[in-house]
Amino acid sequence: MTAATPPAPTVLPIPRGLRPGDTAALVAPSGPVPEQLRTQAVEAFTAWGLTVEVFDSVTARHPRYRYLAGTDELRAADFQAAWTRPDIAAVIAARGGYGAQRMIDLVDWDAVRAAGPKLFAGSSDITALHAALAHRVGVSTVFATMPASTHFDDTAADSLRAALFDPAGTRTVQGPNARSLVEGRASGPTVGGNLCLLAACAGTPEQQCAAGAVALLEDVGEDLYRLDRLLTQLLRSGWFDGVAGIALGSWTACGDPAAGTVEELIVERLGPLGVPMVWDLGFGHHRGALTVPLGVPAVLDADAASLTVNP
């Protein structure tokens, strides 16, 4: 029996931007949040003129699995409560880690969908929630360095702030080391995120493919053979079938020079797709990482090594 083809991504509605005085919810769908970084997150959003409400998951620890921010039920309940409260304009994942997939099926998605669109930001393990919101709610989201991350410096904060206060604005994503791997131009909605989580979402209800889309890929701390396996899985599962272009982020602490470079592996695995591809556009796991919205129209100009969103 042949598995059903996952749906292709489409351009999704963009929630209204934040305004000073709005309330933003800080939640922890995955890993626990150190107190110092929690303070950093609250101070950053407060400085933007926002009211910050810290939900219980942000200060919680799972009683047995210390890599989780509280129980699955607590993390799901916090996410749902934050989304469905009409006084909250944005839901922000404090950090990644691991655990988002464990709580997705505990969320009342009918209630979340009925509450309407609102801004959501996060990255890394939060890739699973981006996919769930695209599939179950039909709303664009923001792939960004999280405010309780050690990578959240002034550049990352400014990029996130721009995306939250003007989500429909046109902006160009181009890091200082961006360069073309395969020339050409491609357009389509943005989709993707963390490579490991994209592979982990294979076979789940929220899995999409990248047909007709500009696919975003990045990761952190993975050996070269693991990246090879993840890319190969997505290739074999058909995730890349019909992809319009590929926008690559950072690969912090990935690979082993003795085994070859990540760039060489990506060219070997994805180059035969023959679509425009840009290396190191500046998003991912590193200080100064840029924000990229998901589910919005974009143009990848590999000749200029840039990605323009909401063109």
Residue in 124, 140, 159, 250 annotated catalytic: 124
Catalytic member of 218, 222, 250, 286: 218
130 labelled catalytic: no
Question: 121 in helix, strand or coil?
Answer: strand
Task: State residue 277's pLDDT score.
Answer: 98
Q: What is the pTM of this model?
A: 0.96
Task: Return phi, psi of residue 83, to 5°.
Answer: -70, -40
Query: Domains in the chain, start-ordered, CATH in brackets?
Result: 23-165 (3.40.50.10740), 171-309 (3.50.30.60)
Is 286 annotated as catalytic? Answer: no
* Residue-level pLDDT at 260: 79
Ranges of residues in the chain whose predicted pLDDT is under 50: 1-2
Quick one: which of 230, 306, 220 has its CA closest to 270? Answer: 230
Of 210, 234, 205, 230, nearest to 220 (Cα)?
230
Query: For residues 95 and 31, is the Cβ–Cβ distance under 8 A?
Result: yes
Please give the pLDDT value at position 2: 41
Q: Quick check: 128 and 75 in contact, CB under 8 A?
A: no
**Is 218 in the active site?**
yes
Rounded Cα–Cα distance for residues 13 and 9 (Å): 12
**Res 238: pLDDT:** 95
Strands (E), the chain: 23-27, 51-54, 88-93, 119-122, 141-143, 171-173, 179-182, 185-194, 214-220, 245-252, 277-279, 292-294, 297-301, 306-309
The pLDDT tens digits of the residues spanning 218-269 come to 999 999 999 999 999 999 999 999 999 999 999 999 988 777 799 999 999 9
Per-residue pLDDT tens for 67-89? 999 999 999 999 999 999 999 99
DSSP β-ladder status, 306-309 and 23-27: unpaired
User: Which among 130, 135, 151, 285 is annotated as catalytic?
Assistant: 285
